[in-house]
Amino acid sequence: SSHKCMFLTNGAPFERELNRRYLICVFLPRVDKDRSGVISDSELQQALSNGTWTPFNPVTVRSIISMFDRENKGGVNFNEFAGVWKYITDWQNIFRNYDRDNSGFIDKNELKQALTGFGYRLSDQFYCTLIEKFDRQRKGQVAFDDFIQCCIVLQRLTDVFRRYDTDQDGWIQVSYEQYLSMVFNIV
């Protein structure tokens, strides 16, 4: 019927608008505990769950907030929060997709499949290093929040490397001070 057609044409924007209203009118006032109009690190951390009983990684929370906090105010306003929310739900879908056995954790093989899917070419030994570094719960695999952090850090390090690897052969030669600048870009 024509009614159905109208819904199909207008459905997506309508849903988006509904989501936006839900976010601003219902969800955000609940998250913004001190009613400052800004979602701080600790407010976002409390709102997030990584599907386990372990508190969401505060380093991941900080990384995400700083990506969307345009005025360096130490949090995100309600407009910026829409970006934060999309970012997290996108990661949630990626995580679910690569958590093949539905364990709620990404093991070494799942991590390998995920990162290979993103275009990384890394050795088996390096996947062990990654698991060891980001396995905050000491389970031999990584939870949702730590998986995001792993991907963010890897991306940052790769971006910095690429800036120096101008001929893209996978090798760089850097001086001591260039090395320090590289590291300062990340820490």
Which C-beta is closer to Ca ion: that of 69 or that of 99? Answer: 99
For the CB of residue 2, give the shortest distance to Ca ion in the complex, in Å: 46
Least gap, CB of 43 to Ca ion (angstroms): 5
Smallest gap from Cβ 144 to Ca ion, in A, equals 11
* Nearer of residues 34 and 167 to Ca ion, judged by Cβ: 34
Which of 8/25 has CB closer to Ca ion?
Answer: 25
- The CB-of-31 to Ca ion minimum distance in angstroms stands at 8
Look at the alpha carbons of 42, 43, 46, 48 in this order and tell me if their dihedral is positive or negative: negative
- Long-range contacts (CB closer than 8 Å, 24 or more residues apart) made by 160-169: 160/185, 160/186
Residue closer to Ca ion (CB basis): 115 or 168: 115
Q: What DSSP element (H or E) covers 40?
A: strand 38-40
Residues 65, 77 contacting (CB under 8 angstroms): no
Using CB under 5 A as the criterion, which residues of the chain lie in contact with Ca ion when the complex forms? 32, 34, 36, 38, 40, 99, 101, 103, 105
In degrees, rounded to 5, the angle at the alpha carbon of residue 17 between the alpha carbons of residues 14 and 22 is: 125
